[in-house]
Amino acid sequence: MPRAFITGLAGPVLTDDERRFLTEADPWGLILFRRNVATPDQLRALTDAFREAVGRDAPVLVDQEGGRVQRLTAPLWRKYPSARRLHAAAAGDLSLIRDTARAMAADLRAAGITVDCAPCLDLGLPDQSQVIGDRAYAGDPAAVAAAGRAAAAGFLAGGVLPVIKHMPGHGRATVDSHHHLPVVTARFEDLAATDFAPFVALSDLPAAMTAHIVYTALDPDWPATQSAVVIGEIIRGLIGFDGLLLSDDVSMNALTGTVDDRAARSLAAGCDIALHCNGLMAEMEAVAAVAPMLEGRALERAERALSHVREPDRVDLDALHARLDAALAADGSGVGL
């Protein structure tokens, strides 16, 4: 059985040390970033090499949302609009959001990528950190839920597993969790009525990612990723999510302590899998050392999630691209790409 963590890599080619690490540590999956992406042929070779090293058809993940967060991008891949721009261009036609996700999925599958850490179900709110910003479809929970449902359907139709994020809601954060720990002081009643609502609506989806945020009304001591209260009572309880739960990146500066302590605390709190992204070998080895074998409920959830990675349906990708181009050209919202 693989271990309950996802790893990054340093660059576009698997090194001998990385190959040995992957074979010995056997992470559940690999996550890719811009530093790992050069050309379509190179990227497919890298994902093939990863699977050869671990000896199975393991999941390969990426953050491919469109807009600012797109690891496969121009000039060798199509540039897609941000969630906010796409939502504006769709003007209520959710099939455009679905079709765009379906087109994005085709790019990913061609590269050997089977999991997309998208869509964001975080709300677009005033005064929020721009770490979310236009990555949010809208500020209205119902609109976000509907758009997220459409995007997830498009990814699934394209044979890519979507990961909804950042549970239970990153929209109120006023600092970037890559650098600082956000603290949200909203009342429980307000969180339940707004931030949690898109996640409740999509709680049947197979995979999700946590938020590195302290919600003082829920647990004043620990961020959601490391809070047994938030994961047990809110994510698994109130929201009703029983799918595969990934931590956000444990190397982000919102968390404190050594990287192995961060990963161990996340797993102990109830995350099924710890995500480590930066590709630094010493940290990769430290996370691997504390990650248990994937077993029990976590293994069941992982297998259930991956059962959704199926052969893509047949579509006319040129027609999908043309439809998106026409909608963006006709959009008069003034929202940027």
Q: What would the pLDDT profile of 93-144 be if each residue is shown by its tens digit?
A: 999 999 999 999 999 999 999 999 999 999 999 888 788 999 999 999 999 9
> What pLDDT is attached to residue 331?
86
Conformation bin of residue 49: beta by default, left when phi > 0, alpha when psi is -120 to 50: alpha
How far is 267 from 292, CA to CA, in rounded Å?
9
Q: Which has more pLDDT, 192 or 332?
A: 192
Query: Sorting pLDDT into bands at 50, 70 and 90, what band is 284?
Result: very high
Query: Sorting pLDDT into bands at 50, 70 and 90, what band is 80?
Result: very high
> What pLDDT is attached to residue 263?
98
Peptide bond into 27 cis (omega under 30): no
The answer to whether 152 and 205 are in contact (CB under 8 A) is yes
**Count of CB atoms situated within 10 Å of the CB of 258:** 12
Q: What is the pLDDT of residues 222-235, one digit of tens each?
A: 999 999 999 999 99
**Domains of the chain, CATH where assigned:** 3-287+303-329 (3.20.20.300)
Would you give the end-to-end CA distance of the chain in angstroms? 42
The answer to whether 3 and 292 are in contact (CB under 8 A) is yes
Computed over its alpha carbons, how large is the radius of gyration of the chain? 19
How far is 322 from 328, CA to CA, in rounded Å?
10
| Bridge partner list, 269 | none
| Bridge partner list, 6 | 29, 275
Record the pTM.
0.96
pLDDT of 335 higher than 80: no
By annotation, the residues acting in catalysis are 178, 248
Mean predicted confidence (pLDDT) in 248-252:
97
> What pLDDT is attached to residue 337?
57
Mean predicted confidence (pLDDT) in 76-93:
97
How far is 115 from 328, CA to CA, in rounded Å?
26
Cα 275 to Cα 28, 62, 155, 199: the distances in Å are: 10, 12, 21, 20
Strands 64-66 and 69-70: antiparallel
